[in-house]
Amino acid sequence: MELSAFDLHGKVALITGGAHGIGFSIAEGMARCGAKVCFNCSSQSSYEKGVAAYQAAGIDAHGYIADVTDWAAVQAMVARIKQDVGPVDILVNNAGIIQRKPMLETDTEDFRKVLDVHIVGAFNCSKAVLPDMIQKRAGKIINICSMMSELGRETVSGYAAAKGGLKMLTKNIASEFGGYNIQCNGMGPGYIATPQTAPLRERQPDGSRSPFDAFIISKTPAGRWGEAEDMVGPCVFLASDASNFVNGQILYADGGILAYLGHQPQ
């Protein structure tokens, strides 16, 4: 295989929730591989921070504000992108939220909101870009799944349900549109060192790891938290021609957590 199979020049990539964190790193990586990057966010403040971050990275990105759970807003956003840059070739459904509460303390509306952002948002954005992909008989949809697509954990009932649903939406899109040379796959990050997880990694007063930090390290064969940059390679692969016969799969970039039972008791 030629290295050019990983080249994204001439491709238009839309990354939802792409103003910061993992979404920003994925967008930055795709831009370095030649893609024209469009990012979505849900607020003016996030948009402004995103624009500043892309400018600082030397990337000419196009930003759009839209609530991914609002079908009309998503339709309008994708139409604007088509007018401004061109039809979307690569969609990364990265927008998401998490609420950490015990299930019995979680309101139904809060549970539903998490599902709406992850599942309805991915459905809306995919539905909006698919007609152009069908017409061109080419397209890549990457859904950002999670280890919670496979495993449960206390306090994240909504997030786990949403990520499990997103895994199956991935497989269904692959099944329904594979005949048009459209590939839909998922990428599942492990525990990633981001500003949002920084409190979980703070050292104890004696310099030791916090209990949760130590737990994650003990469960990860790589022996470390992932970095946002670790997510770039898998997504570039799934966005490129190198993955043209990969469809309906979930690629976990988790340092080996899902493959590992843990240390044998001494």
Query: Which residues form the catalytic set?
Result: 159
Crossing angle of helices 121-136 and 71-84, in 10° steps, is: 40
Q: Which two tokens stand for residue 159?
A: 């997030």
What's the rounded Cα separation, in Å, for the pair 118 and 141? 14
CA distance 136 to 158: 36
Q: What is the Cα gyration radius of the chain? A: 18
**How far is the C-alpha of 263 from the C-alpha of 260, rounded, in Å?**
9
Please provide the distance, in angstroms rounded to a whole number, between the alpha carbons at the two ends of the chain: 47
DSSP state at residue 255: T
Sign of CA dihedral 184, 190, 194, 198: positive
Helix and strand numbers, DSSP H then E, in the chain: 8, 7
**CA neighbor of 160 nearest in space, from 93, 111, 105, 218:** 111
β 62-65/36-41 pair status: parallel
Q: Tokens at residue 51, please?
A: 């624009």
DSSP 203: P
CA 144 remoteness from chain centre: 3
